[in-house]
């Protein structure tokens, strides 16, 4: 059984999918393939990361936990998972904020469901993948990445309401514009711990406000938070939710300049209020803005990783070449540029 699942770009709506916000991602044409066959023991093999062999489903504290966590969650639903040999490959880069982990989780869940005739529906695949990352890997993620990997459609972005767990399809009316991703070439070690810390801080701010959801919080409520750090975190969440709804409207109407301005505002908020950017990604965004690029912002968990760019393809190429050498001289790291297109969600190969 071979299944593939895509990475994703989140146009806007960063760090709000675990705060009942709206997010605006789309599935991309970079994927991970998972092949699952029955075996006499559990074996997980990746060309990039090697092989892990175990007798039973247990935590290994390796990359294989993203897969083993999925198998564990399937068993938590009352299904018996026999020993399996699972092989992974793909063209979706890891560490770029393109959600390779969610692609891996959803592909595994769907492949196992198909092989064992479990008949898991799309919502169940999303839930299993999310719970695997939270409970087995230990990253308190939201639902956006896994949801997009499953429900993504070519030519469409998803305006996901993460409180209601529903979505609206938003046509990618791009005209001559494209999305590209610049990999900063750096990943600071505090990324995963700080991600969980940010989630805890936003929940503490919500508790202070006496609200059960950020959807019930108004801009004027924020002034009641005395702690300056918690006030900044809550401010980002409220503003980012509002920006995302506006961005969906601009995407529908093809107003790329207005969408681009929202991307820059999102980055400023992520840098100054949510404090998940870093010197390298701030440099990239500032350089792009100073050189006339329509829109850019940091994407993913932060503290390195990648920057999303919105503009015409030839202008992106030209500005990137100008930026690459200056960035290398300053940070002793190499930038990579990746152009992405929309794609379909998780699927069995041959479908």
The CATH number given to whatever domain includes residue 41 is 3.30.230.10
Distance (Å) of CA 75 to CA 61, 100, 126, 135, 150? 19, 23, 15, 13, 20
Q: Which residues sit opposite 296 in a β-bridge?
A: 309
The catalytic position among 20, 65, 145, 311 is 145
pLDDT tens string 240-285: 999 999 999 999 999 999 999 999 999 999 999 999 999 999 999 9
Q: Are 296 and 289 in contact (CB under 8 A)?
A: yes
* Residue 25 resides in a domain: yes
Reported as a pLDDT band with limits 50, 70 and 90, residue 9 is very high
Mean pLDDT calculated for residue range 229-233: 98
Q: Tokens 């009316």 map to which residue? A: 173
For residue 41, the model assigns a pLDDT of 94
Ramachandran angles phi, psi of 76, nearest 5°? -60, -20
Q: Is residue 345 part of a domain?
A: no
- Which of 107, 136, 171 lies at the terminal end of a domain, its last residue? 171
In terms of DSSP bridges, do strands 2-10 and 347-348 run parallel, antiparallel, or are they unpaired?
A: antiparallel
CB 268 within 8 A of CB 286: no
Q: Which residue has the higher pLDDT, 129 or 94?
A: 129
| Whether residue 29 sits in one domain with residue 133 | yes
pLDDT confidence of residue 190: 57
Whether the pTM exceeds 0.85: the reply is yes
Same domain, 154 and 273: no
Q: Regarding beta strands 84-90 and 42-46, do their DSSP bridges make them parallel or antiparallel, or are they unpaired?
A: parallel
Structural domain containing residue 184:
177-340
Is 145 one of the catalytic residues? Answer: yes
Mean pLDDT over 163-183 rounds to 96
> In this structure, are 128 and 201 located in the same domain?
no
3-state secondary structure of 334: coil
Q: What is the pLDDT of residue 303?
A: 85
Picking from 171, 190, 217, the residue at the C-terminal end of a domain is: 171
Residues 166 and 211 in one domain: no
Confidence (pLDDT) at 138: 87
Q: Are residues 145 and 242 in the same domain?
A: no
Give the number of other Cβ atoms within 10 Å of residue 89's Cβ: 15
Residue 62, number of CB atoms within 10 A of its CB: 13
Number of structural domains (the chain) is 2
**53 and 68 co-located in one domain:** yes
Q: Mean of the pLDDT values across residues 18-42?
A: 96
pLDDT at position 37: 97
**Contact, 6 vs 154, CB < 8 A?**
no
* pLDDT digit string, tens, across residues 188-199: 765 668 888 999
* Same domain, residue pair 160 and 215: no
The C-alpha atoms of residue 111 and residue 89 are separated, in whole angstroms, by 14
How far apart are the two ends of the chain, measured CA to CA in Å? 12
Q: Is the dihedral of CA 90, 93, 98, 100 positive or negative?
A: positive
Of all residues in the chain, what percent carry a pLDDT higher than 70?
Answer: 99
Identify whether 75 is part of a domain.
yes
- 349 in a domain, yes or no? no
Q: What is the CATH number of the domain that holds 334?
A: 3.30.70.890
Alpha carbons 185 and 9: distance in angstroms, whole number: 18
Q: What are phi and psi of 175, to 5 degrees?
A: 60, -130
154 found inside a domain: yes
């Amino acid at each position: 059984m071979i299944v593939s699942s895509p990475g994703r770009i989140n146009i806007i709506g960063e760090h709000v999918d675990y705060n009942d916000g709206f997010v605006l991602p789309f599935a991309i044409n970079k994927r991970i393939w998972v092949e699952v066959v029955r075996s006499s023991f559990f074996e997980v093999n990746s060309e990039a990361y090697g092989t892990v062999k175990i007798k039973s489903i247990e935590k290994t504290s390796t990359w294989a936990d993203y897969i083993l966590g999925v198998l564990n969650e399937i068993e938590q639903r009352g299904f018996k998972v026999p020993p399996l040999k699972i092989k992974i490959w793909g063209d979706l880069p890891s560490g770029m904020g393109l959600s390779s982990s969610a692609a891996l989780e959803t592909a595994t869940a769907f492949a196992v469901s198909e092989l064992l005739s479990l008949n898991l529906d799309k919502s169940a695949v999303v839930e299993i993948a999310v719970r695997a990352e939270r409970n087995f890997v230990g990253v308190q993620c939201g639902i956006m990445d896994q949801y997009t990997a499953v429900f993504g459609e070519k030519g469409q972005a998803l305006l996901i309401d993460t409180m209601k767990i529903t979505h609206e399809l938003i046509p990618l009316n791009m005209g001559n514009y494209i999305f590209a991703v610049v990999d900063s070439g750096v990943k600071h070690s505090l990324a995963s711990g700080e991600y969980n810390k940010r989630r805890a801080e936003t929940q503490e701010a919500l508790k202070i406000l006496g609200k059960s959801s950020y959807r019930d919080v108004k801009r004027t409520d924020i002034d009641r938070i005395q702690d300056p750090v918690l006030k900044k975190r809550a401010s980002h969440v409220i503003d980012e939710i509002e920006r995302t709804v506006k961005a969906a409207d601009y995407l529908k109407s093809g107003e790329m300049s207005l969408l681009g301005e929202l991307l820059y505002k999102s980055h400023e908020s992520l840098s100054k209020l949510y404090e998940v950017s870093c010197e390298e990604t701030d440099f990239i965004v500032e350089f792009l803005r100073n050189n006339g690029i329509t829109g850019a912002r940091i994407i993913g968990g932060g503290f390195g990783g990648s920057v999303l760019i919105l503009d015409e393809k030839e202008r992106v190429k030209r500005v990137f070449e100008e930026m690459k050498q200056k960035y290398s001289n300053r940070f002793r790291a190499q930038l990579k540029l990746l152009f992405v297109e929309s794609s379909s969600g998780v699927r069995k190969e041959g479908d």
